[in-house]
Amino acid sequence: MTELVYVLNGSNLNMLGKREPHLYGTTTLAQIQQQVEALATKLELTCEFRQTNSEATMVDWLQEAFERDAAVIINPAGFSFASVPVFDAVKLIERPLIELHITNIHKRDETYRHSLVSRAATGVICGLGANGYLVALQAMAMALGKNPHFG
């Protein structure tokens, strides 16, 4: 049986590969999506991979994930630090929820250090670049009782 996992991406992540490559790298979100979907298939997970610049859309997707009893990997990006509506929607999720950041938010300036989403997350992965998505997916597989093969 495959488990449903939403991989949700917040504001400006559609600009990966172009936006501040010294911080975020040169991998595009489309490339990350291909890698995540390929790994999800190997891990027998069904993946809904999405990106939005709209806070309201992110809230709608989190509510949809709740209604579908899905697990969630979320890179909330800028929604992490000030969006109470996204935080409230994240708290709906009953399955594992992994918060993901490409950079190490704890090394960044004060604006980027305190994520509201972290207060509701099962776990947080940050600072691993684009590879953090693959690590998050493997961690999710384990949280869902699957036995991912590393390597």
When pLDDT is averaged across residues 121-148 and rounded to a whole number, the result is 94
Q: How large is the angle between the packed helices 131-143 and 29-42, nearest 10 degrees?
A: 30
Is pLDDT at 81 greater than 90 in this prediction? no
In terms of average pLDDT, the best of 16-20, 56-60, 105-109, 113-117 is 56-60
Helix or strand run (H / E) with residue 144: none
Binding site, annotated residues: 75, 88, 102-103
When pLDDT is averaged across residues 105-123 and rounded to a whole number, the result is 80
Give pLDDT tens digits for 33-63: 999 999 999 999 999 999 999 999 999 999 9
Strand ranges across the sheet with 71-75: 45-51, 3-9, 71-75, 97-101, 123-126
pLDDT above 90 covers what percent of the chain? 76
User: Domains of the chain by range and CATH?
Assistant: 3-143 (3.40.50.9100)
Q: Identify whether 112 is a catalytic site residue.
A: no
Structure-derived torsion over alpha carbons of residues 151, 106, 53, 119, reported in degrees to the nearest 10: 90
Binding site, annotated residues for substrate: 75, 88, 102-103
Of the residues 6, 22, 24, 114, only one is catalytic, namely 24
Would the pTM count as exceeding 0.85?
yes
Report d(CA 15, CA 24) in Å as an integer: 10
Q: Identify whether 6 is a catalytic site residue.
A: no
* The predicted structure's pLDDT at residue 1: 67
